[in-house]
């Protein structure tokens, strides 16, 4: 019993001698903890066989032989229900290369392209194709398009 009273007294004295840390002290500790957490996460990224591998960049090369300017879109999934992603605009009678987003490329993914003339309701659709990482797809718009 004597030791329990002594432990309570020591706890009381310790609390009285060391009051709760001030808000200023808490704020200065948080950045240190955050920095330690970030360093721990960085240490987990390896350079061995399990490290992330960069994916080769895929692109689409558009040869616009028509005289109209075109907005070029990629549709994921190839179907009519897929979402359109604008790749860019190409001027009439010119060639341009657009980078394909990584989310459209790879195993189990197919894509189709839409050429939408500026100021016109007419559009042209490609077939649905499978694009692998590192591929460059060539899409030719004939000179008769947009007339």
What pTM was estimated for this model as a whole?
0.62
Beta strand residue intervals within the chain, DSSP E = 59-64, 70-76, 84-90, 94-99, 110-117, 124-125, 129-130, 136-141
Q: What does the alpha-carbon distance between residue 116 and residue 122 come to, in Å, rounded to a whole number?
A: 7
Contact residues for 10 (Cβ-Cβ < 8 A; gap 6+): none
pLDDT tens digits for 45-88? 666 666 666 778 899 999 999 999 999 999 987 566 678 899 99
What are the residues whose beta carbons fall under 8 Å from the beta carbon of 132, sequence distance 6 or more?
58, 105, 106
- Domain 59-141: state its class: mainly beta
Domain ranges of the chain: 2-44, 59-141
pLDDT at residue 105, as a whole number: 86
Tokens of 114: 């839409």
- Decide: 84 and 74 in contact? Cβ < 8 Å: yes
């Amino acid at each position: 019993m004597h030791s329990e009273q002594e432990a309570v007294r020591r706890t009381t004295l310790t609390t009285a001698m060391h009051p709760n840390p001030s808000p200023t002290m808490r704020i200065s500790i948080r950045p240190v903890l955050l920095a330690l957490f970030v360093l721990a996460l960085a240490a987990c990224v390896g350079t061995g066989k399990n490290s992330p591998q960069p994916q080769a960049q895929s692109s689409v090369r558009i040869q616009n032989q028509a005289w109209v300017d075109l907005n070029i879109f990629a549709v994921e999934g190839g179907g009519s229900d897929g979402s359109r992603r604008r790749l860019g605009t190409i001027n009439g009678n010119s060639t341009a290369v657009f980078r394909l987003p990584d989310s459209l490329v790879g195993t189990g993914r197919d894509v189709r392209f839409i050429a939408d003339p500026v100021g016109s309701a007419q559009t042209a659709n490609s077939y649905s194709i499978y694009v692998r990482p590192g591929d460059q797809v060539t899409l030719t718009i004939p000179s008769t398009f947009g007339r």
